[in-house]
Amino acid sequence: MSAAVAIREPLGQRQVHLPVLIGGAGADLVVPGDSAPQLRIEADGNQWLLRAVGDATVVINGSVQRSPAPLTDHDVIRAGEAQLVVQPAAGRIDVTHLAGNATVAPVQQHALPGEEVVASMREIIAAGADAAALQTSAELPARRGSVLRKLGLAVFAAATVAAAWVLFSLVPVAVQLTPAAATVKAQGWFNWHTSDRIFLLPGRHQLEFSHPGYRSQRITLAVTRALADAAALPVTLDLLPGVLTVSTQGGEAAELFVDGRSVAQVPGDVQLEHGPRDLIVRAPHRIDFVTRIEIEGGGRHQTLDVQLQPAAGWLVFDTLPAAARVSIDDKDHGAAPQRLELDSGLHKLSITAAGRRSWNSQIAIIAGQTLDLGRIDLAAPAPVVLRAAESPAAEAGVAETAATVASPVPPPPPARLQSALLGTLVLLPAGSYQQGSDRREQGRRSNEVQRTVTLTRPFYLAETEVSNAQFHAFRATHAAGLAMEKSLDLDAQAVSNVSWDEAVEFCNWLSLREGLLPAYERRDGRWQLVQPLTAGYRLPTEAEWEYAARYVDGKRWPRYSWGDSLPPPAGVANLAGQESLPTRPGPDVRLAAALPEYRDEHAVIGPVGSYAKSAAGLLNMSGNVSEWMHDVYASQPEAGAVTDPFGSKTDGPHSIRGANWRTAAIAELRLAWRERATGPAQTIGFRVARYAEVTP
């Protein structure tokens, strides 16, 4: 901008310098209609400013402006009865004297509705040597600006209405996130979310939830107005697996089992889902390494150092006669006596001698322990039966007489027997009773055939069910698992989730451990009682179990473990009480049932030995776990009187007796109730029995 200013007036052109006074007498630029200077144009750096002199009014482009007001090219100034078009960039002022009311039209003659008239920078173009030229140059941009402003306002109004419609249409969807800090992404052109709500337009939306260390989750949500008042949508993200680094001593190769399933070869890294995990590390000729570990998940690393111990035990025995041949697992091991190192586990032992009866059994070797069978007396050969003609006495005509020798009366068996592993066994005397239930008994089932049963031999029955700790001494790898998020593998709890075969194998193992002949042997591909019967440990028969459960004094046989009346007294047994009901959603809900208004101490399996003893001195004959019986199940047992029944000789599912921790039906609390089972279950365990003596 120039400090020199060229002024073009109707009478000609001249040059002045800033500042320029405009008005009447005494002004640099005299205009008609003013008696004294009214305005002054001055320089402010490279910019022109228009300042009022005294109380004069500053009018630029038809609008009253605050003083001082900045000027730009083609601004139109009203001064007296003249209009000045300024061009600061060119340093020029064009002056037009007005005739009558004719004026040079400014770009904007009227303020838009609602527009405040204030001082501002306005781009207004007005120039020309005469009135017509000035009017033409000013009107075109004024009209264009007016149209643009109106269009802008229309667009703004439409956008405001659209935004209001969108905001009104958004549906707030409540969400309950786990973890709470999870993020949400929704497909679509407009949505947002807060900590507990997602705002979405109606329609179908793809939502993605994510959080570091968790698996992302995608869901499709149909959004309607009804969701605004609906309960919060639960979204739970699963933790990513954790990484477990398993190392073995010397890098020995082994197989890793997780919750009973083979998953990897170790040493090395293994990805495992978060939560409690039962681990077994197994290698040839080594004791299984068994542990439980809480996997943290979320990609976090954990370590497990495994020390594998040799899995060998020893078998020691002698034979009568000496030098009998020994075979283990059908492999010859020479002549007795023997001290053999064997891998832990079950083995088939066969001992033979010429002219003698063979001895066959299954033995259980425990790592680090010695199984001493003592001296095994092979049965003598059967006596030779002479024909009459060959009898020396007959030939001599000598009459043979049999001398009757009185045998001493054996002492009665003790009322209690102690097992180093099991503890107390209770003696049940021989006797008779009515097994089953009367046809008129409430809750009776058709398989509860009533009949007279006679037991000719006293027998022992374990005071308690076999516990986890006792069963783990036989099979350390056994795991019953979880129920209602509670462990079923605590040492004191009754063992569960065992098969009938496993219960029988435990009985044989315990017999050998305590120096007894096993009660079972494998014949025809299944476990059967050894004949003649031994005093080894076995499962009780149905007849023995019901006899023991209902025994009071040999004369009274109550219907329930607590007596003959209902309802069951509070805390009488571990049944399906109110504490057994699940407290939150999960797979246990479908099994949820409870005895009305009944409570006991345990939500799942309780410790063996809990609750009061029966009249016979037994514990948990009703409740805790149902128990495997020796018998193959028969839906319609023989109706007539029977003596020492052992059930069907055919193969098939076996019987179970007694209520358990999930029993919620009154009919199943009766001691006559019986059922069948085909495999392991978390409600089934067992207790052992044995005869008081061996038949001579």
Q: What is the DSSP string of 277-324?
A: EEEEEE-TTBPPEEEEEEE--TT-EEEEEE-PPB-EEEEEEEEESTT-
For residue 690, what are the β-bridge partners? 460
Q: What is the DSSP pairing of strand 217-223 with strand 203-210?
A: antiparallel
How many domains, in total, are found in the chain? 5
Q: Kindly state whether residues 423 and 470 are assigned to the same domain.
A: yes
Q: Identify the band that residue 433 occupies on the pLDDT scale cut at 50, 70 and 90.
A: very high
Pick the range with the lowest mean pLDDT from 263-277, 436-450, 573-587: 573-587
Residue 385 lies in a domain: no
Q: Kindly state whether residues 108 and 224 are assigned to the same domain.
A: no
Q: Is the pLDDT of residue 62 over 60?
A: yes
Q: Identify the band that residue 286 occupies on the pLDDT scale cut at 50, 70 and 90.
A: confident
pLDDT of residue 677: 96
Residue 696 lies in a domain: no
d(CA 546, CA 557): 10
Q: Kindly state whether residues 219 and 248 are assigned to the same domain.
A: no
**Residues 621-641: what's their mean pLDDT?**
93
What 8-state DSSP symbol labels residue 494? B
pLDDT of residue 391: 36
d(CA 290, CA 264): 15
pLDDT of residue 271: 93
* φ and ψ of 382, to 5 deg: -65, 145
Q: Is the pLDDT of residue 253 over 90?
A: yes
CATH number of the domain bearing residue 230 = 2.60.40
pLDDT of residue 443: 87
Higher pLDDT residue, 134 or 148?
Answer: 148
pLDDT of residue 142: 55
Q: Kindly state whether residues 116 and 265 are assigned to the same domain.
A: no
The residue among 603, 622, 627, 639 whose CA lies nearest residue 689 is 627
Higher pLDDT residue, 166 or 259?
Answer: 259
Pick the range with the lowest mean pLDDT from 121-130, 137-146, 465-474: 121-130
Q: Is the pLDDT of residue 317 over 60?
A: yes
- Residue 495 contacts residue 465 (beta carbons within 8 Å): yes
Q: Kindly state whether residues 527 and 671 are assigned to the same domain.
A: yes
d(CA 100, CA 501): 125
CATH number of the domain bearing residue 8 = 2.60.200.20
Compute CA 208 distance to the chain's CA centroid, rounded to the nearest angstrom.
Answer: 21
**Residues 204-216: what's their mean pLDDT?**
88
pLDDT of residue 643: 95
**Domain assignment of residue 353, given as a range:** 312-380
Q: Is the pLDDT of residue 440 over 80?
A: yes
d(CA 4, CA 231): 79
Peptide bond into 234 cis (omega under 30): no
Which amino acid is residue 380, in one-letter code? A
Domain boundary among 380, 407, 434: 380
Residue 400 lies in a domain: no
* φ and ψ of 666, to 5 deg: -60, -40
Question: In whole numbers, what is the pLDDT of the chain averaged over residues?
Answer: 82
Q: Identify the band that residue 313 occupies on the pLDDT scale cut at 50, 70 and 90.
A: confident
Q: Is the pLDDT of residue 99 over 80?
A: no
pLDDT of residue 622: 93
Residue 636 lies in a domain: yes
pLDDT of residue 139: 53
Q: Identify the band that residue 371 occupies on the pLDDT scale cut at 50, 70 and 90.
A: confident
Residue 294 lies in a domain: yes
Residue 396 lies in a domain: no
Q: Is the pLDDT of residue 387 over 50?
A: no
Higher pLDDT residue, 11 or 75?
Answer: 75
**Residues 382-392: what's their mean pLDDT?**
36
- How many other C-beta atoms can be found within 10 angstroms of the C-beta atom of residue 618? 22
Alpha-carbon distances, residue 584 vs 184, 228, 275, 577, 580 (angstroms): 26, 26, 18, 17, 12
pLDDT digits (tens, 9 = 90+) for 27-57: 888 888 888 888 999 998 888 999 998 888 8
Q: Which of 198-207, 291-300, 393-402, 492-501 has the highest mean pLDDT?
A: 492-501
**Residues 151-177: what's their mean pLDDT?**
75
| The total number of residues written for the chain in this structure | 696
Domain boundary among 260, 278, 306: 306
DSSP string, 532-591: S--SS-BPPPHHHHHHHHH-SSSS---SBTTBS-SSPPTTSS--S-GGGS-SSSSGGGGG
pLDDT of residue 243: 94
The residue among 286, 277, 276 whose CA lies nearest residue 306 is 286
Residue 395 lies in a domain: no
Contacts 24+ apart (CB under 8 A), 514-521: 514/419, 514/420, 514/421, 515/373, 515/374, 516/690, 517/361, 518/361, 518/362, 519/690, 521/360, 521/361, 521/362
pLDDT of residue 623: 93
Q: Kindly state whether residues 97 and 212 are assigned to the same domain.
A: no
**Residues 534-556: what's their mean pLDDT?**
94
**HEC profile of 193-227:** ECCCEEEECCEEEEEEEECCCECCEEEEEEECHHH
Q: Kindly state whether residues 620 and 528 are assigned to the same domain.
A: yes
pLDDT of residue 382: 35
- Residue 207 contacts residue 198 (beta carbons within 8 Å): yes
Q: Is the pLDDT of residue 209 over 50?
A: yes
d(CA 660, CA 465): 12
pLDDT of residue 181: 86
Domain boundary among 182, 211, 236: 236
Residue 97 lies in a domain: yes
Q: Identify the band that residue 367 occupies on the pLDDT scale cut at 50, 70 and 90.
A: low
Max Cα distance, the chain (Å):
188
Alpha-carbon distances, residue 394 vs 117, 326, 473 (angstroms): 156, 43, 61
Q: Kindly state whether residues 184 and 261 are assigned to the same domain.
A: no
CATH number of the domain bearing residue 316 = 2.60.40.10
Q: Identify the band that residue 427 occupies on the pLDDT scale cut at 50, 70 and 90.
A: very high
- How many other C-beta atoms can be found within 10 angstroms of the C-beta atom of residue 110? 10
pLDDT of residue 447: 92
Burial of 174 (0-12, 13-18, 19+ CB in 10 A): middle
Q: For a pLDDT cut of 90, what percent of the chain falls above it?
A: 37
pLDDT of residue 170: 80
Q: Kindly state whether residues 616 and 665 are assigned to the same domain.
A: yes
pLDDT of residue 398: 37
Q: Kindly state whether residues 349 and 437 are assigned to the same domain.
A: no
**Residues 416-434: what's their mean pLDDT?**
92
Q: Kindly state whether residues 199 and 316 are assigned to the same domain.
A: no
pLDDT of residue 396: 39
Q: Is the pLDDT of residue 204 over 90?
A: no
What 8-state DSSP symbol labels residue 434? E
CA angle 518, 523, 527 (to 5 degrees): 55
Residues 6+ apart with CB under 8 A from 569: 562
pLDDT of residue 385: 33
H or E element in which residue 113 lies: none
Six-digit token string for 563: 């007596």
Q: Is the pLDDT of residue 690 over 60?
A: yes
For residue 23, what are the β-bridge partners? 30, 37
pLDDT digits (tens, 9 = 90+) for 650-682: 889 999 999 999 998 889 999 999 999 999 999
Q: Kindly state whether residues 668 and 542 are assigned to the same domain.
A: yes
pLDDT of residue 456: 94
- How many other C-beta atoms can be found within 10 angstroms of the C-beta atom of residue 625? 33
CA angle 119, 125, 129 (to 5 degrees): 125
CATH number of the domain bearing residue 262 = 2.60.40.1120
